[in-house]
Chains A and B, each alone.
Chain A
Amino acid sequence: MKIAVLQFPGTNCEFETLVAVKAVGMEGEIFRWNRPAGELSGFDGFVIPGGFSYQDRLRAGVIASKEPVMSALKEEAGIGKPIIGICNGFQILVETGLLPGSATSCGNVDMALAQNVMVSQGKIVRRGYYCDWVNLRHEAPSKRCSGSFAIERGALLKIPIAHGEGNLVTTTPGLMKKLNDEGQVVFRYCDKNGRIINEFPFNVNGSTESIAAICNEPGNVLGMMPHPERAFFAWQLPAFDPRKQRPDEPGPGRRVFESMKRYIEVNA
């Protein structure tokens, strides 16, 4: 079971992502964007990690989305291999059209991850880059999506975010209803009790319906703004979390990588 962790110029989370991949028992390697794209077919799954590909020039993820390696990745997605895009990886998947990736859109860009606009009580209280620990509620049924395959519906995960453009917006008619109806909304931002409160500081970037992660129609492609690799071990958790004192315990982010592994095992 071999995973390619894609590296574009400006990616900066590839090494810790690779540690997470290997720590759940998968093999993995960093795959530079300028390697022959055809070599991707030798892998069982893919992670596009976070960072600032091409320095976020023009808008986050768009320049990377035009690279040949992404065309090859579309083909791999088409045959059901799992892909997880984390933060900048999510932005790249959106700009490529792999997410939300309906069967009818033929790779069109159906949504955007716009600049963060934090709203509270009808007022903009903050905008731009923001990093913090957030609570996520798993919205999809288990086994719906490769990256949350082994996570039960309603589970809460504490995972950090760090981005400037995570505000999910769309003008595609009916898209939000479709995402909700078909279980493509994978995680939402919530409070510590799992309540969805569509305002800052719970909705950390102004994202429509507090959406933090979505998958494509078949469920093999997941994009998420939070960084599970930064909450993979309990010792990575913030000081106020009691689990930090139990460093042998797994962190909540581990479940995303375990899910990917389980998805591959089941679908092999």
Chain B
Amino acid sequence: MSMNRKINLRVWLKIPDAEAATVKNTLIRRLGFGNVLDDVKKERLFSIEVDSGDPEELAKSFAKELVNENKESHIVLIDELKFEEDYVPVKVGLHIEDGEAISIRERLRSRLGFDNVVDVKKATVWKLYFNTLKPEAQIKAGEIAERLLINPHKDSYEIMI
């Protein structure tokens, strides 16, 4: 009996990320998080579910399609999703229909011939670097998500700890 595998691609800019800089600036200058927040970084996350094939090899092929190596770096995680310890990761995704994720799935399946792709999900992971202890940092991360990172009518968030 075959079991579906999940290929997670964590993708980030290796050039300066203007969007993350703007979010950091707004949190510090406009929303009063300057005393607890040190830095903000951002990643794109693609979670691709496949029902057959070697996930390591498939991940290389998917990365060729979804990552621009001229400006981006990435890591692959198979059947797991973990983050480093020095920040609070907040995953933000659409809870309404995600047209871009659907397009990526169709592109991989129909145009590029990856028939084994079952589903594609896409999210943004905001990496919030705090200068406070973890329990407070997690509470602040929730506040940041609700006050800026999401519009609850289309987005949902999850603190990935």
Is A127 a contact partner of B99 (Cβ separation < 8 A)? Answer: yes
Is B99 a contact partner of A55 (Cβ separation < 8 A)? Answer: no
Binds A, one of B52-60, B76-84, B148-156: B148-156
CA–CA, A92 and B31, complex, Å: 17
B residues contacting the other copy or chain, number (CB 8 A): 21
Is B19 a contact partner of A62 (Cβ separation < 8 A)? Answer: no
Interface assignment of A63: CB less than 8 Å from any CB of chain B: yes
Is B18 a contact partner of A58 (Cβ separation < 8 A)? Answer: no
Residues of the A chain whose Cβ atoms lie less than 8 Å from the Cβ of B31: 66
Is B19 a contact partner of A114 (Cβ separation < 8 A)? Answer: no
Expressed in whole angstroms, the minimum distance between the Cβ of A183 and any Cβ of chain B is 22
A residues contacting the other copy or chain, number (CB 8 A): 26
Is B99 a contact partner of A128 (Cβ separation < 8 A)? Answer: yes
Given contacts A57-B18, A62-B151, contact A124 B30 (CB under 8 A): no
Is A124 a contact partner of B151 (Cβ separation < 8 A)? Answer: no
Residues of the B chain whose Cβ atoms lie less than 8 Å from the Cβ of A55: 18-19, 22
Residues of the A chain whose Cβ atoms lie less than 8 Å from the Cβ of B153: 109-112, 114, 169-172
Is A63 a contact partner of B22 (Cβ separation < 8 A)? Answer: yes
Residues of the B chain whose Cβ atoms lie less than 8 Å from the Cβ of A54: 22
> What string of 1s and 0s marks CB contacts (under 8 Å) between B137-157 and chain A?
000000000001101111100
What is the count of residue pairs linking A and B with beta-carbon distances less than 8 angstroms? 59
Interface assignment of A115: CB less than 8 Å from any CB of chain B: yes
CA–CA, A127 and B100, complex, Å: 8
> What string of 1s and 0s marks CB contacts (under 8 Å) between B2-45 and chain A?
00000000000000001100110010001100000000000000
CA–CA, A244 and B99, complex, Å: 37
Is A169 a contact partner of B19 (Cβ separation < 8 A)? Answer: no
CA–CA, A58 and B147, complex, Å: 12
Is B151 a contact partner of A109 (Cβ separation < 8 A)? Answer: yes
Report the nearest A residue to B23, measured CB to CB: A58
Is B99 a contact partner of A115 (Cβ separation < 8 A)? Answer: yes
CA–CA, A116 and B151, complex, Å: 15
Is A58 a contact partner of B154 (Cβ separation < 8 A)? Answer: no
CA–CA, A62 and B155, complex, Å: 13
Interface assignment of B96: CB less than 8 Å from any CB of chain A: yes
Interface assignment of B131: CB less than 8 Å from any CB of chain A: no
Residues of the B chain whose Cβ atoms lie less than 8 Å from the Cβ of A74: none
CA–CA, A54 and B22, complex, Å: 8
Q: Which of A101-122 contact B (CB under 8 A)?
A: 109-112, 114-117
Interface assignment of B103: CB less than 8 Å from any CB of chain A: yes
Interface assignment of B97: CB less than 8 Å from any CB of chain A: yes
Interface assignment of B160: CB less than 8 Å from any CB of chain A: no
Interface assignment of A59: CB less than 8 Å from any CB of chain B: yes
Given contacts A66-B30, A117-B97, A117-B99, contact A57 B151 (CB under 8 A): no
Residues of the A chain whose Cβ atoms lie less than 8 Å from the Cβ of B161: none
Interface assignment of A95: CB less than 8 Å from any CB of chain B: yes
CA–CA, A169 and B23, complex, Å: 24
Residues of the A chain whose Cβ atoms lie less than 8 Å from the Cβ of B18: 55, 57
Is B103 a contact partner of A127 (Cβ separation < 8 A)? Answer: yes
Is A66 a contact partner of B151 (Cβ separation < 8 A)? Answer: no
Q: Which of B82-106 contact A (CB under 8 A)?
A: 94, 96-97, 99-100, 102-103
Is A66 a contact partner of B26 (Cβ separation < 8 A)? Answer: yes
Expressed in whole angstroms, the minimum distance between the Cβ of B13 and any Cβ of chain A is 13
Expressed in whole angstroms, the minimum distance between the Cβ of A173 and any Cβ of chain B is 12
Is B100 a contact partner of A58 (Cβ separation < 8 A)? Answer: no
Report the nearest B residue to A108, measured CB to CB: B152
Given contacts A115-B99, A115-B100, A127-B103, contact A63 B26 (CB under 8 A): yes
Report the nearest B residue to A115, measured CB to CB: B99
Expressed in whole angstroms, the minimum distance between the Cβ of B32 and any Cβ of chain A is 11
Most buried by A among B26, B102, B155: B26
Given contacts A127-B99, A128-B99, contact A171 B19 (CB under 8 A): no
Given contacts A95-B151, A114-B94, 7 further A-B contacts (CB under 8 A): A54-B22, A55-B18, A58-B22, A109-B151, A112-B153, A127-B103, A169-B153
